[in-house]
Amino acid sequence: MQHPCMNRPWDFNARLEEWAQAQDGEEAKNLAVFAELAVEGGIAYRRERLAGHFTASSWLVSGDGRRTLLTHHRKLGRWLQLGGHADGDEDLSRVALKEAEEESGLTGLSVEPQIYDLDRHWIPEHKGVPGHWHYDVRFVVYAGDSEEFAVSDESLDLAWRDIAALAADADADESLRRMARHWLERTLS
């Protein structure tokens, strides 16, 4: 699926505006806190900013668009989307793609450069790193021909989940359910 902004260089503020135009009131509230952090420039993309920093995640969908690949996150002990720290890279779509490749072992992945979802969430203290905020910017990533994954050290397990079932799963993380509902709305329209 090709998008008009596919050939433009990464511009976070422009991508935030594009995302905001497509949202309703509740989700659009995230825009202000993300835009405020972006004003800080490069430090906002580094984990050394202990109050909080940008991260990037992938809503990794199967070739048929009916399943998403989730990780049973080793540190957090929950099923989540693949993703991680930007480590100074301000092109968050590139970070989301890199993290999806590294955490899944899948090859031939492709990413939509427009923002799919924004989520600010608290990360508890772990191994001496104080608790802090992740300003997670999420992108759609498409699986290539092979959907056979390899579990990395960052995960306890990986699994393909049916998106419709995930949207209805009351035990699933709310942000996963939101992305699943959004995906179903998008693919049914």
The stretch 142-162 carries a mean pLDDT of 94
Model pLDDT, residue 23: 78
91-145: pLDDT as tens digits: 999 999 999 999 999 999 999 999 999 999 999 998 899 999 999 999 999 999 8
End-to-end CA distance of the chain: 15
Rounded-to-integer distance, Cα 113 and Cα 3, Å: 8
pLDDT greater than 70 at residue 7: no
Q: What one-character-per-residue DSSP string does 22-58 give?
A: T--HHHHTHHHHHHHHHTTGGGGGSTT-TTEEEEEEE
Count helices and strands (H / E) in the chain. 6, 7
Name the least confident of 2-6, 83-87, 104-108, 112-116. Answer: 2-6
Tokens of 165: 């079932």
Model pLDDT, residue 29: 74
Please give the sequence-ordered ranges of beta strands (E in DSSP) within the chain, or none if there are none.
Answer: 52-61, 67-73, 79-85, 110-111, 117-123, 132-142, 155-162
Tokens of 173: 């993380």
Confidence band (pLDDT; 50, 70, 90) for 22? Answer: confident
Tell the CATH topology of 4-188.
Nucleoside Triphosphate Pyrophosphohydrolase (3.90.79)
Tokens of 188: 């049914």
Residue 93's contacts (CB-CB under 8 Å, 6 or more residues apart) are 10, 56, 111, 112, 113, 139
Please, is 34 exposed, middle or buried when counting C-beta atoms within 10 Å of its C-beta (0-12, 13-18, 19+)? buried
Model pLDDT, residue 3: 36
pLDDT greater than 90 at residue 82: yes
Model pLDDT, residue 9: 56
Model pLDDT, residue 61: 98
Confidence band (pLDDT; 50, 70, 90) for 31? Answer: confident
Query: Between 6 and 86, whose confidence is greater?
Result: 86
Please give the angle made by the CA atoms of 31, 37 and 42, to the nearest 5 degrees: 135
Mean pLDDT estimate for the chain: 90
Residue 83 contacts residue 177 (beta carbons within 8 Å): no
The stretch 3-13 carries a mean pLDDT of 57
